[in-house]
Amino acid sequence: MNSLSIGETHAGNVCIVTLSGRIDSSNANDVMAELTRLISSGEKSILVDLSAVLYLTSAAFRALLVATGKAKQQAANFALCSLAGQVRELFEMGGLLELFAIHNSREEALKQLGGPILRAP
């Protein structure tokens, strides 16, 4: 119930990773592994869409921070978008907003990252 699903699509040169459900210690390593794999495979712009994430814990923040560090090493762009509800509250509460490149919407992020504008599914 509400388990994590990871979707992947491309918009121009931007790889969009859509996370849905809950991210905690039971599945944060899957997120970290997938993001690390994409960065290692040579993706130069990765956008993580969090609009469908219901909930996350410290394990999820660590996974995203590890991916951010890896992207920096590989000179790749790594950004998050569409933080809403409790997810945004947790970012704000932990003072974690400034640790990531965060965009309000997928469209805004794609404009910044250089991909074509797509409608969110």
Partner 1 sequence: MTRPPDLIYAVDEHPPWAILVVSAFQHIGLMAITLIFPIIIAREANLSGTQFLDLVSLSMLGLGVATVCFCIRSRFIGSGYLCGAAYTAIFLGPSLFALRQGGLALVFGMTVVGGVVQVVVAPLLRRLRALLPSEIAGLVIAVVGLSLAGLGVRYGLGINAQQQEINPDYVIVAGISLAIMIVLNIWSKGYGRMFCVLIGMMVGYAGSAVLGIFDLAGIVPEGGLSVVRLPRLEHVGWSFDLVLVPPFAVASLAATLRAMGDVSNAQRINDADWVRPNFASLAGGVSANGVAVMFCGLVGSCGINTYSSSIGLSGATGVTSRSIGYAIGLGFCALAFIPPTAVALAAMPLPVMGAALFFTAAFVFTSGLQMITARMLDARKTLVIGFSFAMAVMADLYHEALMGVPIVLQPIFGNSLVLGTVCAVVLNLIMRIGVRQRASIELAPGRINREAVEQFLSEQGARWAARRDVIRRAIFGVVQVLEVVGDPPGGVEVEASFDEFNLDVRIRYVGAPLNIPERKPTPQEIVASEDGERLLAGYLLRQSADRINARGTGASVEMTLHYDH
Residues that bind partner 1 (CB under 8 A): 1, 24-25, 55, 57-59, 61-62, 65-66, 68-69, 86, 90, 93-95, 99
Nearer to partner 1, 45 or 91 (CB): 91
Backbone angles phi, psi at 52, to 5 degrees: -100, 10
Task: Tell me the pairing of strands 77-81 and 5-11.
Answer: unpaired
Pair of tokens at residue 67: 């991916």
Give the distance, in angstroms, between the CA of residue 121 and the centroid of all CA atoms in the same chain: 16
Q: Which is nearer to partner 1, 34 or 118 (CB)?
A: 34
Comparing CB distances to partner 1, the nearer of 8 and 92 is 92
| Spatial contact of 31 and 23, defined as CB atoms under 8 Å apart | yes
Least distance to partner 1, CB of residue 11, Å = 28
Least CB distance from residue 57 to partner 1, whole Å? Answer: 5
